Homo-oligomer: A and B are copies of this chain.
Amino acid sequence: MKSSQVTIHDIARELKISASTVSRALSDNPRISLSTRKKVKELAVKLNYQPNIVASNLRTGRSKTIGVIVPHINRNFFSNVIGGIEETASNAGYRTIITQTCEKYEKEVDNVKALINARVDGILVSISGETHNLDHFNLVKQNKIPLLFFDRVADEIEANKVMVDDFKGAYKAVSHLINEGFRKIVHFAGPPHINVYKNRMLGYLEALNDNKIQQIDGYIFHDCLTEDKGWRSCENMMKYKNKPDAIFSASDISALGAIGYLKASGYDIPGDCAVVGFSNEPFTKIMEPGLTSIDQNSLEIGREVAALFLDEVHSAEKNDYKHIVIEPELIIRSSSLKKGV
């Protein structure tokens, strides 16, 4: 019962050749004769030799591993992105280490350091909600490790980035509401220091503006991302003298809260108030009414950012940083469709 770890030295000893010859034979180095290569490979299979990646990494300085940092692993959006990253990375022979920050700045710093220690070949980040200070990312650059951002990107740091055109997504959503005849449209916004939420708000404002709709005081509810806040914001706004007729929420979750309130209070959706969310969470097509939302093409984001990383690593010359913008898609469901129209 031969066990544990077979090394090139074991193979070398058995064939009475040197370890370096074994190493070269296994990597098909043309300087090794075909007959030797064949013998080595056969014995390697027979002994079930598995190269020690750790040793190889130490020698070559590469780890064939990329580190990913996301706010939450168990959010549908992020796990899809990770799926896309993992798919593209593993096809190129890279492993993926996943870490999550739980939106905490401290954990983000820890994770960055842990990944640097692990000597990953690249770090792919979607920034935590709490993060304002970006020094830890400069640490990555100082260590000459490729750093890429996706979705929640740092404007202040030069890097390859993949982001969703949140502005356009929001613009599409609000334009759709306007086309359906809604005019008094409220916005549930996220924290404005996170680029994606800022852009969703700007898209909302632009759509209103382009359609010559006056922006109304109190029609933007800030930091409204949870189900609970969605519920209460909706409750609030329905008491306005100037009662809104539609909601564009930066989050499906708070849209869900709003719909909860509307239904509990006997309002008709979209008759009394239309609702559009953002992210196209799986539940949006299941709930009643189906929630119109913006699909961010999350799998594609993962694939793109991984591909961008591979580019950055493999292209000899230092190209300029690229910013890939993924086009989001409006998914129309009954929560925003004027009946009979």
> A residues within 8 Å of B by Cβ?
1, 3-5, 48, 50-55, 57-58, 63, 65, 72-74, 76, 79-80, 82-83, 86, 90, 95-100, 113-114, 116-119, 139, 142-144, 256, 282-283, 286-288
Contact = CB atoms under 8 A, between A and B. Distances in A.
Nearest to A57: B54
A113 B95 CA distance: 12
Nearest to A141: B3
* Residue among A4, A5, A58, A144 having the largest count of chain B Cβ atoms under 10 Å: A58
Contacts of A63: 54
Contact of A50 (B1, B86, B113, B256): B113
Contacts of A4: 142-144
In the A-B complex, list the 7 residue pairs whose CB atoms are closest, starting with the nearest: A74-B79, A283-B283, A288-B288, A98-B98, A283-B286, A79-B79, A54-B58
Contacts of A119: 52-54
Contacts of A97: 65, 95-98
A105 B75 CA distance: 27
A3 B143 contact: yes
A63 B116 CA distance: 15
B74 A95 contact: no
A72 B5 CA distance: 30
Contacts of A83: 72-74, 100
